[in-house]
Structure 1
């Protein structure tokens, strides 16, 4: 806060306090000199409601003076009088930090056993999963839902589709560093509106949707030229890039032609924030164990080398099941496509 605003606030406080004292003093001294105390002022409402010339009781006025005295004492002890910190040096930030440090110490003492434990073993602990579930509800449910089933544009974490892979290192990297996914707008690269429709039709066919085979055949040639670089010639995706598998039944947005066309023409952008600054390394492991338990699949110990999570971009085909390329929350906490 600048000196100007500090003095501005001090002036406001002082003027208000002085004004309150003056108002109490002035009104307590004023009387209707033409009438003795206790007589009516001549004002009558509703036929029988009469105003009397009676001042406030002295004890009531003294209570107001006490509140003013309390206010002065408060500004001496606590911050609020411009930039003055108060004699106690208290602030909400300091109190928060102290309480957080105390809670972190208690958490570390109780759950330090999970710091180096494999995710599969953590997932077998009912105590650890209970904590992981609470952490998920407080930090992840806003995007993925309280049941972790996601929504349109937000990945379902309870299925068996994994965008980056289901090994322990990848899961931890996703939650720790977050994901940034981008599918570029490819409409111009593919061609005119008819070509975009053909590619969208071919993408539908990859997951078993009944489509016009002739149109899908036209779309395949365009797909091989533009989209296969990320999704592969068979459309099965690339976990190293976070490019989704287009041949399964998992769709992040929707499998209809209009939604797929929109993804091709406009592209998709999504980001999952890094949660290590919020949760810390130990809590990240508990969340990872809980999320993985939702899929019911075993945790892999290792995975193929992948680009660092914080810089991975997932160019994904038209709004399919690409968690990072299409999800406003980007890749889910486990890297599931959705």
Structure 2
């Protein structure tokens, strides 16, 4: 707050307190010519009389005590512009104090799970319960409460992992986030093979999960040459992708941005930019580890016991 505004607040507070004190003093006085307390001449229905009796002294004194208390409060706590209160109290300091207390309680709660392996946490029901709660508070906004994702947000309950599905890779994703970038190939492909080039590549990409379809598909056959010249660097010759850079496997039939012709064409022509935020600063390593364990457990269900066991 600037000094001008600070002095404005101080003056406004002083004016209000002084005004209240003056009003209390002025209205409590009896003046010459005032009617007697028992005689105001305000009578209704012959026997209902309005008296002019002053407030009791104890009531008046309570008003004065309130004013004195208010002045003391403003001196003790910071309530006069930029002036610091005598107690040194600040809302920022109070927040920091309470946060430190809550952080200590959280550390105590999560201490048993610190640095434990992801797969071990996934086998611990108490750890999974905490991980599910953390997931619901921080991850469900994008991936859904059931973790099945949506268009542009991966399904975490299947066995398809663009950045790798090992416990360590999942923890790395939660802690440090991911940036998945698919370049816009429309101008390049159009320059190579004309206005139908994107359609050719889209047709070929579809056949990667159905190799036999390539034999009788003219557009896909044209698209293979274009794919080999532009896409293999990330997705590989067979379309299996590369988890090291987040390039998806094009042979599994899973389409993060939709499997319609328009969606695939847009991905090829205009590219995509998927961002998974880093949660290290927000959650800390232990809570991120619990969330990763819960996510890993969704696609690694424990084997059902044999009936004979």
Cα deviation digits, residues 22-65 of structure 1 (max 9, x gap): 67778889xxx9x995759xxxxxxxxxxx99999789998877
- Offset of residue 122 of structure 1: 0.9
- Offset of residue 251 of structure 1: 2.0
2:236, 2:205 → 1: CA distance?
12
Alignment of structure 1 residues 1-338 onto 2, 5 Å: 1-18=1-18, 39=42, 71-191=70-190, 192-208=194-210, 213-296=217-300
Distance change (3 Å), C-alpha of 1:200 and 1:64: farther
1:203, 1:55 → 2: CA distance?
95
2:176, 2:167 → 1: CA distance?
14
- Offset of residue 15 of structure 1: 4.5
SS in 1 for 2:196: helix
Distance change (3 Å), C-alpha of 1:149 and 1:61: farther
Q: CA contact under 8 A between 2:159 and 2:165: conserved in structure 1?
A: no
SS in 2 for 1:146: coil
Q: CA contact under 8 A between 1:38 and 1:54: conserved in structure 2?
A: no
Q: CA contact under 8 A between 2:171 and 2:292: conserved in structure 1?
A: yes
TM-score of the superposed pair, with normalisation by structure 2 = 0.76
SS in 1 for 2:179: strand
Select the structure with the greater relative contact order (CA < 8 A; seq sep ≥ 6).
1
2:251, 2:261 → 1: CA distance?
15
Give the CA RMSD over aligned residues: 3.6
User: Where in structure 1 are there 5+ consecutive unaligned residues?
Assistant: 41-51, 299-338
- Offset of residue 11 of structure 1: 3.9
Q: CA contact under 8 A between 1:28 and 1:55: conserved in structure 2?
A: no
Structure exhibiting the larger radius of gyration computed from Cα positions: 2
SS in 2 for 1:280: helix
Higher percent of residues as helix: 2
Q: CA contact under 8 A between 1:164 and 1:242: conserved in structure 2?
A: yes
- Offset of residue 90 of structure 1: 3.1
- Offset of residue 205 of structure 1: 2.8
Residue-pair matches, total: 286
Higher mean alpha-carbon deviation, 240-249 vs 201-210, is at: 201-210
SS in 2 for 1:163: coil
Higher mean alpha-carbon deviation, 206-215 vs 179-188, is at: 206-215
Give the equivalent residue in structure 1 for 2:47: none
1:223, 1:17 → 2: CA distance?
80
Cα deviation digits, residues 76-97 of structure 1 (max 9, x gap): 3333432234333333433333
